[in-house]
Chain A
Amino acid sequence: MNRVGVSVRGAPGHGPLSRFSGWKRRLRSAAMVCCTIGMVNLAVAQAVPSAGDAPSPMGPHERSVGEWLVRLQQASRVPSFVGTFVVTSATGAMSSARIWHVCEGDVQLERIEALSGIPRSIFRRNQSVVTFYPQARVAITDQRDAGGAFPNLLTANSSASIADHYVAKELGQSRVAGFDADVVYLKPRDDLRYGYRIWSERNTGLVIKTQTVDAKGAVLEQSAFSELQLNARVPAVKLTRMMERTEGYKVEKPSRVATTPAAEGWALSSEVPGFRSQSCYRHTADQSSGMVQWVFSDGLATVSLFMEPFDAHRHTAEGVAAMGATHTMTKRLPDAQGPWWVTAVGEVPPGTLKALASRLQRKP
């Protein structure tokens, strides 16, 4: 629980010294402002002045939520790693994938080979994502919104918002996938969201394990590296080439267009604490009846509201369903121009879905 001094943690506490200096060299050549712990803390001081206890350069120090988030996010810029990633949910579902990750300068490259389910390879170059389905010979290209996995997202604003709704409690140290990790619990301040236990690799901050925890302390979902090599050799050029190799594949794009809730005639009567509108899409597939997706986030948890015209044949069952941390809620919404069917999906307690869906209003 008692934190080791920040300046001490900046030094390689374990592991071969050559490895450490190796990645320092690469960092410098990439001219990145990150990863060395002192600088991260410096960034924290600038980015999150309101986030509570200012980092003292010496002596024991417990990080605030904002500091933790900056540290965790910066860690996605570790030069490279290779590992096996396992996701399990409380319902017993388990999935795993082999991960290759490399960061050069501002470019993050990732290759994910699914080890369970339908064979597929997912490549990510910053926000560009290509998913190859070798059996169907289909490749889907997509641009993701700048989610948290990417640099530059964590503005002082969103970080402060997270700090409004979560408290960081350090839980000590533990060992995961052969690495010493600091364990922190991001505890929700209300019952509209779940808590997250996070294992962060001591030297780099890389998140090597997370658990989603409900109010009773039960683990709803867990993601973890079962095996991990930091600073493994991952040739970025090779990953880029693999990502671009779409010959023989039918390349498809997801058919959705960005829009605004107002343009689609939707509004919320009042805000659900912490959950702010992130984006809105209209799905445009062949006969998909103009479904609108409105995305909310409190910085950690995300909720999607799907609105479509009510169809008595298909929309039979109102209610709530759960799969690990993910809940869905379906609801019929009466309207003068004909009823709507609302489906709320998110990694939040059912009450949050209900709160959002019940505030949904038609404002054409």
Chain B
Amino acid sequence: MDTQIRVQSSAERCSALMDGQLPGNEVGAAIASMGVEAEGRDCWQVYHLIGDVLRSPDLALHGRDMALAQRVAAVIANEPVTQLVPTPVAQVQSEPSYIARPAANDGVFRWKMVAGWASFAAVAAVGWTMVSGIGPRSTTGPQLAQSAVPAVAPSQVLAVAAPVPAAAGAGEADASAPVMLRDARLDELLVAHRQAAGGAPMGGASGFLRNATFEGHGR
């Protein structure tokens, strides 16, 4: 009888926990007890299975591997502890041309005019879509930036590039193949361009306001 009550309450607690209805002070205890009680774990798994199947009947076919957690725990326990050694520097040195290559917005290029904006341009979500040309070389270009930059200027640059296949035509940007490139150098030039451009000869929603607002462009 006693056990029955306990199981029942454990199942109810499990249900409430899943629904996010368990009071905050009981959440820790509920999770802890589920970690040691097999019934609690089974209940957790079964309820989730029910939820999955209700959401998508296909999931019923796969069922749930009740012993998965134990197996994972066992594997982790047997895992040899490996020392994490920072090796990227060695990789960078294997390609000499990278060493001499400064971060795109490192001191060499950092104009005073963009001093306050350099970090801004780097952090801003600027995505350049490659239209043509840069593709073939970009496997060395932008990706280099990705590996070299953290070593040279760890705090500043977020130059991240996806592998860029060359687009066939040199025409308009092809929206169907949105390959994004982040290039801090281009962003810097864009800032200089916007500063010098002034703006289209319209007030209001144009020119200056657009340039000032479009953080993606580093303004």
**Which residues of chain A have a CB within 8 Å of any CB of chain B?**
69, 72-78, 85-87, 89-97, 99, 110, 112, 114, 116-118, 120, 122, 124, 131, 133, 136, 138, 140, 142, 144-150, 153-154, 158, 162, 196, 198-199, 201, 206-210, 214-216, 218, 223-225, 252-256, 278-279, 281, 283, 285-288, 293, 295, 297, 299-302, 304, 306, 313-314, 316-323, 326-328, 330, 343, 345-346, 349-351, 354
Pair A314/B134 contact, Cβ less than 8 Å: no
The smallest C-beta distance from B213 to any residue of chain A, in angstroms, reads: 4
Interface of B is mostly: mixed
Question: Which of A147, A215, A345 is B198 in contact with, Cβ under 8 Å?
Answer: A147
Q: A147 vs B207: C-alpha distance in the bound complex, in angstroms?
A: 8
Q: Is B50 part of the contact surface with A, judged by Cβ < 8 Å?
A: no
Mark out the residues of chain B between 33 and 89 whose CB falls within 8 Å of any chain A CB in the assembled complex. Answer: none
Cβ of B219: which chain A residues have Cβ within 8 Å of it? Answer: 122, 131
| CB <8 Å contact, B195 and A144 | yes
Stretch among B13-21, B23-31, B104-112, B150-158 lining the A interface? B104-112
Q: Which of B101, B197, B204, B210 contacts A87 (CB 8 A)?
A: B210
- Taking CB atoms, residues of chain B closer than 8 Å to A76 are 202-204
| Bound-complex Cα distance A44 to B132 (A) | 43
CB of B11, distance to nearest CB on chain A (Å): 46
Contact between A281 and B204 (Cβ–Cβ < 8 Å)? no
Interface flag for B126 (CB, 8 Å): yes
Q: A283-B111, A306-B189, A319-B130 are in contact. Are A131 and B101 (CB under 8 A)?
A: no
Please determine whether B198 and A198 come into contact, CB atoms closer than 8 angstroms. Answer: no
Given the interface contacts A87-B213, A118-B215, A345-B193, does A323 sit within 8 Å of B127 by beta carbon?
yes
Render B146-189 as a binary contact track against A, CB cut-off 8 A, 1 for contact: 00000000000000000000000011110100101101011001
Query: Cα distance A255–B192 when bound, in Å?
Result: 11
> Is A117 a contact partner of B113 (Cβ separation < 8 A)?
no
Is B199 a contact partner of A148 (Cβ separation < 8 A)? yes
- Check A288/B131 contact, CB under 8 A, given A149-B198, A281-B196, A295-B197: no
Contact B215–A345 (Cβ < 8 Å)? no
> Is B124 located at the chain interface by the 8 A CB criterion?
yes
Q: Does A343 contact B189, Cβ atoms closer than 8 Å?
A: yes
Min distance, Cβ A111 to any Cβ of chain B, angstroms: 10
Q: Which residues, 108 to 127 on B, are CB-close (under 8 Å) to A? A: 108-117, 119-120, 123-127
Q: Are B116 and A138 in contact (CB under 8 A)?
A: yes
Is B198 a contact of A144 with CB atoms below 8 Å?
yes
The answer to the question of B7 belonging to the interface, with a C-beta cut-off of 8 Å to chain A, is no
Indicate whether A350 sits within 8 Å of B172 (C-beta atoms), given known contacts A117-B215, A210-B202, A223-B206. yes
Of A131, A288, A299, A321, the residue contacting B109 (CB under 8 A) is A288
Bound CA span A70–B121, Å:
34
Contact of A209 among B201, B203, B205 (CB under 8 A): B205
B200 and A300 within 8 A (CB):
yes
18 residue pairs of the A-B complex, CB under 8 angstroms, read: A90-B173, A91-B127, A93-B125, A93-B216, A97-B213, A122-B219, A142-B113, A150-B198, A196-B200, A216-B172, A225-B204, A285-B111, A285-B112, A288-B110, A304-B192, A317-B137, A322-B131, A350-B132
Tell me whether A287 and B107 are in contact (CB under 8 A).
yes
Which listed residue, A218, A223, A301, A304, touches B175 by the CB 8 Å rule? A218
CB < 8 Å neighbour of B133 from A146, A256, A317, A345: A317
Q: How many residues of B contact A (CB 8 A)?
A: 74
Give the distance to chain B from A32, nearest Cβ to Cβ, in Å. Answer: 14
Chain B nearest CB from A305 CB (Å) reads: 10
- Are A97 and B209 in contact, with the CB atoms below 8 A? yes
Check A254 against B206 for contact (C-beta < 8 Å): no
Cα A5 to Cα B15 with chains together (Å): 70
B196 shortest CB reach to chain A, Å: 5
Q: Are A69 and B201 in contact (CB under 8 A)?
A: yes
CB of B216 within 8 A of CB of A95, answer: yes
A313 and B134 in contact, given A283-B192, A321-B129 (Cβ under 8 angstroms): no
Known: A85-B205, A95-B213. 7 other contacts (CB 8 A): A145-B196, A147-B200, A318-B133, A320-B130, A321-B128, A321-B183, A345-B186
Q: B172: shortest Cβ distance to chain A, in Å?
A: 6
**B190 at interface, CB cutoff 8 A:** yes
Tell me, in angstroms, the Cα distance from A242 to B9 when the chains sit together.
62
Cα of A314 to Cα of B196 in the assembled complex, Å: 24
User: Known: A316-B141, A317-B133. Contact between A345 and B206, CB under 8 A?
Assistant: no
Enumerate chain A residues within 8 angstroms of B127, measured Cβ to Cβ: 91-93, 323
- What are the residues of chain A within 8 A of B134 when measuring CB–CB? 317-321, 330
Q: Is the CB of B190 within 8 A of A326?
A: yes
**B32 touches A (CB below 8 Å):** no
B8 within 8 A of A: no
Beta-carbon contact of A117 and B120 below 8 Å: yes
Q: Which residue of A lies closest to B126 (CB)?
A: A323
Residues of A within 8 A of B102 (CB): 314
**Residue B138 is within 8 A (CB to CB) of chain A in the complex:** yes
Which B residues are CB-close (under 8 A) to A112?
A: 209, 212-213
Once bound together, how far apart are the Cα atoms of A146 and B68, in whole Å?
Answer: 69
Q: What residues of chain A lie closer than 8 Å to B132, measured between beta carbons?
A: 319-320, 350
Are the C-beta atoms of A346 and B193 separated by less than 8 Å?
yes
The residues of B that contact A224 with a CB separation of less than 8 Å are 205
Residue of A93, A133, A281 with most chain B CB atoms under a 10 A cut-off:
A93
